[in-house]
Chain A
Amino acid sequence: MAVHILGIRHHGPGSARNVKAFLETVKPDIVLVEGPPEADAMLQWVSNKGLKPPVALLCYQPDDPQRSVFYPFADFSPEWQAILYARRQNIHVRFMDLPAGNQMLVEKEHRVVKQQEEPDTGHINNEGQSLEQLYKSPISYLSDAAGFADDEKWWEHTFEYRNNNDEVFDAVAEAMQALRESLPQKDKKLELMREAYMRRTIRQAEKEMFHTIAVICGAWHAPALQSKSSQKDDNELLKGLPKVKTECTWIPWTFNRLSFYSGYGAGINSPGWYNHIWHHPNDDGTLWMANVAQLFRKQQMDTSVAHIIEAVRLAGALASLRGLPKVGLEELNEATLSVLCNGESILLKLVQDELIVGHQIGEVPVEIPKPPLQLDIEKQQKKLRLPATADYKDYTLDLRKDTDLDRSIFLHRLQLLGINWGRQQYTTGKGTFKEQWRLQWDPGYSVEIIERGNLGNTVVEAATASVLNQSKEAKELKAIGDLLEKTIPAELPGAIEALINELNNLAAASADVIELMEVVPGLITVARYGNVRKTDAELVLTIINSIITRVCISLPNACIAIDEDASQKLLELFFKLNDGINLLQDGEITDIWQQTLIIIAANKSTSPVVGGYSTRLLHDARQLEGDQLMQYFSFAMSSATAPVIAAAWLEGFLKGSGTLLLLDQDLWQVIDNWVAGLADDIFMQVLPLLRRTFANFTNPERRKLGEKARWGGGSGHQHTNIGANFDPERAKQSLPVIMQLLGLTINTTETNGN
């Protein structure tokens, strides 16, 4: 019976190669790998063709999915290679670390304890800091001794890049043993428990009469697993380990994510480079530089073969200058910088993103048991041909097409779920049928998907539930309105109905007419766009109807006794509301609205600006014309009215356009008389108001008004032309042509006869 402990570095390509070679020579009958034992059942998938690294094991607590740990694996991860070997040889393979659930629990306790300890800092803090520095990286002591500036580099050159691997695991174990002995032990409880658990798993395997046991663990743990710690101590340490329910699944991972901190401790900086040396262990830099050149050429940068040759040579020279047996990434980068980029480091950023990190994303077979929501999302992604990619991709959706509409609905639903895979971008061009999206998948969404899983098993269900939850929390009419605006494009009938009910209830309870008015324009937009999206606009129309009715009832009172700022705000809302109502073209609503306007305009105590504007709106709608309009107008401008109020009324009436004044001679006359009748000091008083009114008109309008004023307000020369030199006989001759142009036939003889 023999136990082989293989100390490795997580995601080290050299370690992976060594592990593979070692297992092939030793031929163990069981392989134990550092990892969460809950996930043992997931190991069978490793040999499945559909599971393509980079992937990660996700362990989460079903009742609190945010509590989760990832264990990422790439092709070049030693753990992955070990599991793969075991699966292919059909021998046992198990995870042996402390269960992920327990780890999460211990860490939580640790955090609580830390927080409690927080208050009594003081001089202890100083000491703690220096100790923390000591613990920073044990390997750095070895690298310092070897004269390397960076411990990662030292490890890479000592263990990862080498091709000759005899007794490398013994060397690693010995080095770590020396470190553990000479460094102050950080007796972190979690560390000790983990190692005890690993030893226990090894003992268990021994008990089961396996002959050759291969153990793959992080280098740091190797000596602890070799030491013959007593079984009793270990049991003592692990006593009363609570059972924590966790669930595990495989999720696709990205190279980009491999470079982050994850369940296996610190991530790696250069997954793309590691992938390269895993697949091409004997590359002297030529292949790498060729890839770099390819990349540069794709970006329209001239890169010749001679460049590659020179770069490889320089990298070799640098390596030998530094006494390194093999060219490393630093040498290659420096050579790229010096030879290919002319010293400018901007281009190197491209190499960093595309090659050193890379955009690879893993794949997970469909058959793997997954949370139902995840399954549904994947199904939709496939159906709608929206693959999850590590790099971003832009889509322009034409909502008139069925597929694009479905895509848009899907993306909107995900957004409601808080999964921001797609971000909507600004679209160029007109039309409400176009949407621009940018999609970039982040493996972290897996956690969110699991978390949202408690809302429902399909995207529709979960999104509906999510909207309902949000609507319960929202207490303001506007918030519900916004939510409704977001929900309509996601086509969730259940949620929409509930939102509308909620809106109705809130609207009924709301005493604030301004708040009600703010919601309406948004709703009208929804009702309008509903047509493109084939949503049922009826629902929205009902609610618009009821809200407008409410607005109309309380609006006249809201226009009384308000100051100027409030009036201006009200004016804006009037404008938007009127615009919306015009768009709707619903006879009933228009009627109610116009009735209200008449009440407001006729009320003498209405704020003058609002009163003026209401009159104007009525005129625009042809509800107030001729003498009736004159009556309103003269009344407002009569000399008994304080000039300031009259000016404000005029401002409201002329808001936006002065064409009315140009065309209507009577109105002009009234204003003319009014202005002429003002005393000098009062004129000075109202001048700023009038200036403000006229300043908003368009240039040609103002010019024409000016011209008209210069002509003394006379009826204008347009009128004088009429009747001058008019020859009815000649005019009659043109009639047949005009009739023909209009598509009408007339009896010419009859015309002649008449």
Chain B
Amino acid sequence: MSQILRQHAEQLFAHELEELKKQDGDKRPANWVLSPQSVVTYLVGGKLKNGFEVSPKYIGNRRLMEIAVATLTTDRALLLYGLPGTAKSWVSEHLAAAVSGDSTMIIQGTAGTSEESVRYGWNYARLIAQGPSPDALVETPVMRGMKDGKIVRLEELTRIGADVQDTLITILSEKTLPVPELNIEVQAVKGFNIIATANNRDKGVNELSSALKRRFNTVILPLPDSVDEEIDIVRRRVESFEKVMELPAEPPALQEIRRIVTIFRELRAGVTLDGKTKIKVPSGTLSTAEAISVVNSGLSMAAYFGDGQLKAADLAAGIIGSVIKDPVQDKLVWQEYLETVVKPRTDWADIYRACRDL
């Protein structure tokens, strides 16, 4: 096992990518590692002709992944849109890994992301010493992606200020990045494209200008349709976490995962799964990703402080931590939920006690 805390998708699933490449019989767009069909297979999983099993990375609607991949084959960029924790970044990382074999060209969008980090910057020491020269230029992932014909990832596009966002327009429509100081330009090589992610909750913070919006095809990633789908997602992700973290704990029982997913879904929807009782909704998003991290932290608790078996008490702290984001409002919501929904469920007595004691 390597010493790296978290490996990139193309490292973690290197054997799958290798196998897909070997079996790939379809036409590959220029500078793509895999054919579009194989990229979709890599994302949603499946069996190859030689019986090799590809694990699913995205569990959900296959059509959404097809739209995403098809978009990358055209000259439009892809915008993944959705609530926090709906696997936007996860999908974007795996897409980049499968299409370009490299998911590392990434720009994290923040309120402070400047034009220099999107287009290019200068090494000022060099600039002063030598004057403007290509050596003094600091390339951004965008510039490198254009030169190499690779996929560039832009996280949280809507957090970036509108003026900086709009510098993307030339890059996306003309596929060129002019450097007027040197009187040169970088023209994108085939295979270059951008995958951006944006958050529903940030809507209206830095709304995309319509000119920029027009350069993106939007794919909205939804919350999982059913409990079973969500449980499946959580289980798979937790299992891969155990592998990476080398936890001595026993794999979590499906029962525990089901309970957490149930709690999260009920609080998210504002109604119990049987549709009979109305519940207040807390301020957090309670996404699938959070459910995954609750189980993961529960596993660590069980491994290091408990007897290695995942118990309700190990999960309680995690659940409360992710539900109560606002110490005043959410606490009331949670207590009400605990007393009216959790308490009457006889087989949930342990989780009720564990949560109440905290």
The interface of chain A, by Cβ under 8 A from chain B, is 302, 304, 306-307, 310, 313-314, 317-318, 320-323, 330, 334, 337-339, 341-344
Q: A85 vs B63: C-alpha distance in the bound complex, in angstroms?
A: 41
Complex contact B81–A338 (CB within 8 A): no
Of all chain A residues, which has the CB nearest B68?
A: A338
29 A-B residue pairings within 8 Å (CB atoms)? A304-B214, A306-B214, A307-B214, A310-B74, A310-B76, A310-B217, A313-B74, A313-B76, A314-B70, A314-B71, A317-B70, A317-B73, A317-B74, A320-B36, A321-B37, A321-B66, A321-B69, A323-B37, A330-B63, A338-B67, A338-B71, A338-B218, A338-B219, A339-B217, A339-B218, A342-B218, A343-B79, A343-B219, A343-B220
Which one of A302, A334, A339, A341 contacts B76 once the chains associate, using CB atoms below 8 Å? A339
List B residues 39-95 near A (Cβ within 8 Å). Answer: 40, 63, 66-67, 69-71, 73-74, 76, 79, 81
Give the top 7 A-B pairs by smallest Cβ distance, nearest first: A343-B218, A317-B70, A343-B220, A318-B70, A338-B217, A342-B218, A317-B73
Of B40, B66, B81, B217, most A-chain CB atoms within 10 Å: B217
Asked if B213 is at the interface of the complex by the 8 Å CB criterion, the answer is: yes
Q: A342 vs B203: C-alpha distance in the bound complex, in angstroms?
A: 13
Of all chain A residues, which has the CB nearest B39?
A: A321
Complex contact B67–A318 (CB within 8 A): yes
- Give chain A residues whose Cβ lies under 8 Å from the Cβ of B74: 310, 313-314, 317
What secondary structure prevails in chain B residues at the interface with A? helix
- Give chain A residues whose Cβ lies under 8 Å from the Cβ of B218: 338-339, 341-343
Interface size on B, residues (CB 8 A): 21
The interface of chain B, by Cβ under 8 A from chain A, is 36-37, 40, 63, 66-67, 69-71, 73-74, 76, 79, 81, 210, 213-214, 217-220
Complex contact A314–B213 (CB within 8 A): no
Of all chain A residues, which has the CB nearest B213?
A: A342
Complex contact A321–B73 (CB within 8 A): yes
Q: A393 vs B132: C-alpha distance in the bound complex, in angstroms?
A: 70
Q: A304 vs B213: C-alpha distance in the bound complex, in angstroms?
A: 12
Nearest CB of A to B209, in Å: 13
Of all chain A residues, which has the CB nearest B64?
A: A334
Q: A342 vs B79: C-alpha distance in the bound complex, in angstroms?
A: 9
- Give chain B residues whose Cβ lies under 8 Å from the Cβ of A338: 67, 71, 217-219
Nearest CB of A to B198, in Å: 10
Nearest CB of A to B222, in Å: 10
- Give chain A residues whose Cβ lies under 8 Å from the Cβ of B40: 321
- Give chain A residues whose Cβ lies under 8 Å from the Cβ of B220: 343-344
Q: A95 vs B337: C-alpha distance in the bound complex, in angstroms?
A: 66
- Give chain B residues whose Cβ lies under 8 Å from the Cβ of A323: 37
Complex contact B210–A317 (CB within 8 A): no
Q: A677 vs B207: C-alpha distance in the bound complex, in angstroms?
A: 78
Q: A343 vs B73: C-alpha distance in the bound complex, in angstroms?
A: 18
Q: A587 vs B317: C-alpha distance in the bound complex, in angstroms?
A: 86
Nearest CB of A to B214, in Å: 7
Complex contact A314–B214 (CB within 8 A): no
Q: A313 vs B73: C-alpha distance in the bound complex, in angstroms?
A: 10
Complex contact A334–B37 (CB within 8 A): no
Complex contact A321–B70 (CB within 8 A): yes
Nearest CB of B to A289, in Å: 14
Complex contact A322–B217 (CB within 8 A): no
Of all chain B residues, which has the CB nearest A315?
A: B70
Q: A56 vs B71: C-alpha distance in the bound complex, in angstroms?
A: 43
Complex contact A314–B76 (CB within 8 A): yes
- Give chain A residues whose Cβ lies under 8 Å from the Cβ of B213: 342
